Amino acid sequence: MKTKIFNIICALMVACGFAACSDDHTGSLSVGGDCLVQKFVLNDQYEATIDMATKLIKVKVPVDFTAKSDMVVTSMIVSPGASSNIKQGDHINVEADQTLRITNGDLMMEYRIAVRNDEAKLYNFYLSGIKGAINEEDKTITVYVLGISGIDLSNASFTVDNSEDAVSFPASGSTADFSDPNNPFQLTLNDGTATNTYTVKIVLIDKPVAIFAGNAANVDELKDEEKAAAKWLTSNIQGSAYVSWEQIANFDGLLDECKFIFFHRQTGAYTSFSGFEGGEKSAMDALPKLKEYWKKGGAFVLQRMGVNLAAALGAMPQDGCPNNCWGGNGEGGPQMGDDPWTLPVFDKNHALWQGLVVNPANPEAIYTLDKDYTICNSASQYHWDGVSDEALYQKFDEVTGGKARRLTGHGNEISSWELKNYDGNFGKGGIICFGAGLLDWYSPTDYTSVYHENMGKILMNAYHYLTGE
């Protein structure tokens, strides 16, 4: 009888146990505690800010602090009953980020300990969309402003990009008076013990030496891809400016000192010259002055759908425009993985491809993209089926009068090329056409730049090659 009663009791306990498991799905796991970090202090004086959303324990130290290799955990408070792999009193090396692991019963949570020096560094400065050239040595920002741009320098807006924790005074997005050269505008960045003050110098130019040309009234109205390319030019070539086709057409003398015009057009694909001619009417209005400029030795870099301007100038036949074109919506194409797309290069010894960052694992290719970079995925190029490489180059020369400088990775396609100057020679005063989709300036997704700086180097190489400077 006792045995039967015992068995009945055991059966009831097992049944209750199954019922409990089906209710909370924890079985015998101990999940009653928390794994929170409530306080974390290094060296008795540097207390962390703790972001639970990102599990980041961030400790700021003075700008000149250099002892990160040996810091002491002098205070740490965690949830009751929890333990950790790093404990109060431990000496830790935080030159690189460390992982703090908190456990409480069967629960575990990891945090990243990041120790950062105070930093007040300016990355970018834009005055009404015009990117300034930053000199860190003398803490100056030089902004070249076209005299006919219409910008009211007495009440112009500006934006800044700066180091993560720095605060700008005045605030980014404010307006200020940039019109008095005797009382130049000053921008101060502050982050704890770090402070830097930058002085903005405005240089008015009536006749730029280099131009990014476009169909928008100003830089801010350009598409993102075009805007990124324009801002690179105006911040890296002294005396350069953004100029609209309308300004070129209507202001005499604007191109008198210009040596280099960059036209990067991100729009729907033009599959014929007539399509380009109809779609780029403002550029066609400026054509008489562009032809005169080219006749006098002015050079061009034409990119994406802008390559068709070469046919309008007479640098290649109008029936010889790119025959394999797509994209242009600017909404973003594929995002790069661990091995970004790249293109083999024809004539790698050409000046365009010198001094670039090379991937040791693939030294013959030229990289311009990085992991997580998202391209526009549009291109203007040439494609002929069933043609050998040797015949491809010959056919291209016959159709365009130019020379292939870059191939796509698909075979039977030419995506970048060089055209002659007005006098019929390659080199100074000539035209470089970049139709390749991978020669891209703007990513809508965040990425860490390893190879994308090659874009600027390629364009600077083109500038020096075509101007002889």
pLDDT band at 31 (very low <50, low <70, confident <90, very high): very low
Residue 186 has phi, psi (to 5 degrees) of -125, 135
Between the two ends of the chain, the Cα-to-Cα distance in Å is: 107
Give Cβ neighbours of residue 7 (< 8 Å, ≥ 6 apart): none
pLDDT average, residue stretch 26-47: 78
- What kind and span of H or E run contains 121? none
Question: For residues 13 and 111, which has the higher predicted lDDT (pLDDT)?
Answer: 111
Give Cβ neighbours of residue 84 (< 8 Å, ≥ 6 apart): 76, 78, 100, 101, 102, 103
In this prediction, residue 330 carries a pLDDT of 60
Give Cβ neighbours of residue 432 (< 8 Å, ≥ 6 apart): 300, 301, 302, 352, 405, 416, 417, 418, 419, 462, 465, 466
What dotted CATH number matches 210-467?
3.40.50.880
In this prediction, residue 220 carries a pLDDT of 87
Q: Which residue type does 286 have?
A: A
Q: Which residue type does 263 have?
A: F
127: closest CA among 206, 198, 220, 197?
220
Q: What percent of the chain has pLDDT over 90?
A: 75
The model scores a pTM over 0.85: no
pLDDT average, residue stretch 360-377: 92
- pLDDT tens-place string over residues 148-175: 888 999 999 999 999 999 999 999 999 9
Helix axes 224-236, 453-467, angle to 10 degrees: 60
In this prediction, residue 329 carries a pLDDT of 62
Helix%, strand%, coil% for the chain, nearest 5: 25, 30, 45
Same CATH topology for 37-117 and 122-205?
Answer: yes
Question: For residues 411 and 65, which has the higher predicted lDDT (pLDDT)?
Answer: 65
Question: For residues 405 and 134, which has the higher predicted lDDT (pLDDT)?
Answer: 134
- pLDDT tens-place string over residues 288-335: 999 999 999 999 999 999 999 999 999 999 999 999 998 866 667 899
Q: Which residue type does 113 have?
A: I
pLDDT average, residue stretch 47-67: 96
In this prediction, residue 254 carries a pLDDT of 94
Contact between residue 94 and residue 111 where contact means Cβ atoms under 8 Å apart: no
What dotted CATH number matches 37-117?
2.60.40.4120
In this prediction, residue 56 carries a pLDDT of 97
pLDDT at 22 over 70: no
DSSP states of 186-206: EEEEEETTEEEEEEEEEEEES
pLDDT at 18 over 60: no
Q: What percent of the chain has pLDDT over 70?
A: 91
How crowded is the C-beta side of 221, counted as CA atoms within 13 Å?
Answer: 9
Question: For residues 52 and 22, which has the higher predicted lDDT (pLDDT)?
Answer: 52
In this prediction, residue 410 carries a pLDDT of 54
267: closest CA among 309, 315, 312, 206?
309
In this prediction, residue 349 carries a pLDDT of 87
pLDDT at 46 over 80: yes
pLDDT average, residue stretch 441-462: 96
Q: Compute CA 257 distance to the chain's CA centroid, rounded to the nearest angstrom.
A: 30
- Give me the residue spans of the domains in the chain: 37-117, 122-205, 210-467
Question: For residues 116 and 149, which has the higher predicted lDDT (pLDDT)?
Answer: 116
What dotted CATH number matches 122-205?
2.60.40.2340
In this prediction, residue 422 carries a pLDDT of 97
The DSSP call for residue 335 is B
- pLDDT tens-place string over residues 192-250: 999 999 999 999 999 999 999 999 988 889 999 999 999 999 989 989 999 999 999 99
- Integer Cα distance of 41 and 39 in angstroms: 7
pLDDT at 15 over 50: no
In the structure encoding, which two tokens stand for residue 382, read together? 């040439």
In this prediction, residue 228 carries a pLDDT of 94
Question: For residues 157 and 343, which has the higher predicted lDDT (pLDDT)?
Answer: 157
Contact between residue 123 and residue 132 where contact means Cβ atoms under 8 Å apart: no
Residue owning tokens 């409530």: 38
pLDDT at 21 over 60: no
